[in-house]
């Protein structure tokens, strides 16, 4: 089947992982990038563009609308992967070019937060045949359906079997306790609490420079890690922290499955959803407060054998339960094509 996938192609974006998964499933996939040539997550747009973004009217600098309209002919599925620059007029053009194509929206963000909805997207919501979200609560009638979504499917996050496979530890990335992700004040408070408790902590990602020098036990790498370096950071760390983003109302994150898929031991902020995926104390550890996080770190750092056993069991679990991108997208496409009641 011809599939058109629209989304970011920045280094670190998961859209290229989904592109690979769809091709692994045997589909003929055309990628329409919403990322301007040469841009990364560190690229800072001009003032006018930043203002338009804050007004939720992002510019289509990559020309994705025109490219999507051209690519649609003959498609069986058109997937917008959090592609918030696409206009309703473009989706209507897609309908004309491919009347039988299913239109699918996919996002890892909380759509009820206006920051995660462009005004362009608000004009498109009712046009999608299937709205897919990793935020289970977004499927509640008072949430995304109230915005006009006709069919909402909540799914768990997933991992790439290629980019999230185990890799040999690398001493350049070694850490007692580590975190990979963007700065947030609650996360910073927790990392400082660990450092103040005498634990050695290493953090990778954007925005952490403000913590540099705050504690001799806190090593701020000052750079994000992508691809194999992300794997090296996880696989070289004894205890990998996984935080929930409060502004996204997270109950799980992509890291919730990526870390165990890589064979890393994970200490996860308390979540009933993740505990249902990975058994507490057997496949992952959990914390509900800074004190509990500190106690859990000390407990698991003191028992390397138990840590290794939990990490191995967790990796086996996420593989056996079918949480890879190809398995997730096989189910999503089945749903979109009407095999589970979509009209």
pLDDT value of residue 11: 84
Domain at 2-158+324-336: CATH code: 3.40.50.2000
Q: Give 71-119 pLDDT, tens digit per residue.
A: 999 999 999 999 999 999 999 999 999 999 999 999 999 999 999 999 9
Q: Give 177-225 pLDDT, tens digit per residue.
A: 999 999 999 999 999 999 999 999 999 999 999 999 999 999 999 899 9
pLDDT value of residue 98: 97
- Proportion of the chain above pLDDT 70, given as a percent: 99
* Model confidence at 340: pLDDT above 50: no
Same fold, 2-158+324-336 and 171-320: yes
Mean pLDDT over the full length of the chain: 96
* Model confidence at 343: pLDDT above 60: no
Q: Give 37-53 pLDDT, tens digit per residue.
A: 988 888 889 999 999 99
> Could you tell me how far CA 216 lies from the centroid of its own chain?
31
Q: Give 142-173 pLDDT, tens digit per residue.
A: 999 999 999 999 999 999 999 999 999 999 99
Q: Which CATH class is domain 171-320?
A: alpha beta
Domain ranges of the chain: 2-158+324-336, 171-320
């Amino acid at each position: 089947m011809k599939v058109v996938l629209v989304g970011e192609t920045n280094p670190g974006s998961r859209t290229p992982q989904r592109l690979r998964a769809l091709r692994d499933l045997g589909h003929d996939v055309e990628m329409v990038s919403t990322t301007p040539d040469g841009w990364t997550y560190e690229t800072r747009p001009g003032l006018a563009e930043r203002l338009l973004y804050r007004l939720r009217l992002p510019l289509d600098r990559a020309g994705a609308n025109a490219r999507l309209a051209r690519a649609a002919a003959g498609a069986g599925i058109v997937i917008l992967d959090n592609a918030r620059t696409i206009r309703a007029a473009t989706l209507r053009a897609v309908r004309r070019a491919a009347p039988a194509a299913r239109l699918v929206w996919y996002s890892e963000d909380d759509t009820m937060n206006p920051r995660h909805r462009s005004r362009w997207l608000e004009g498109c919501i009712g046009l999608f045949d299937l709205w897919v979200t990793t935020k289970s609560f977004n499927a509640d009638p008072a949430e995304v359906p109230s915005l006009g979504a006709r069919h909402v499917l909540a799914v768990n996050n997933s991992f790439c079997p290629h980019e999230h496979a185990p890799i040999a530890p690398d001493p350049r990335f070694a850490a007692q306790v580590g975190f990979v992700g963007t700065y947030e004040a609650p996360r910073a408070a927790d990392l400082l609490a660990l450092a103040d408790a005498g634990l050695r902590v290493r953090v990778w990602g954007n925005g952490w420079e403000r913590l540099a020098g705050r504690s001799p036990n806190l090593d701020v790498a000052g750079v994000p890690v992508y691809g194999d370096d992300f794997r090296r950071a996880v696989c070289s760390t004894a205890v990998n922290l996984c935080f929930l983003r409060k502004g996204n109302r997270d109950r799980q994150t992509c890291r919730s499955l990526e870390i165990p898929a890589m064979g890393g031991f994970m200490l996860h902020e308390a979540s009933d959803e993740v505990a249902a995926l990975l058994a507490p104390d057997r496949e992952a550890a959990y914390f509900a407060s800074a004190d509990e996080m500190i106690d859990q770190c000390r407990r698991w750092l003191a028992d390397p054998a138990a840590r290794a056993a939990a990490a191995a069991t967790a990796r086996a679990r996420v593989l056996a339960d079918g949480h890879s991108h190809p398995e997730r997208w096989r189910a999503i496409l089945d749903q979109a094509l009407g095999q589970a009641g979509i009209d």
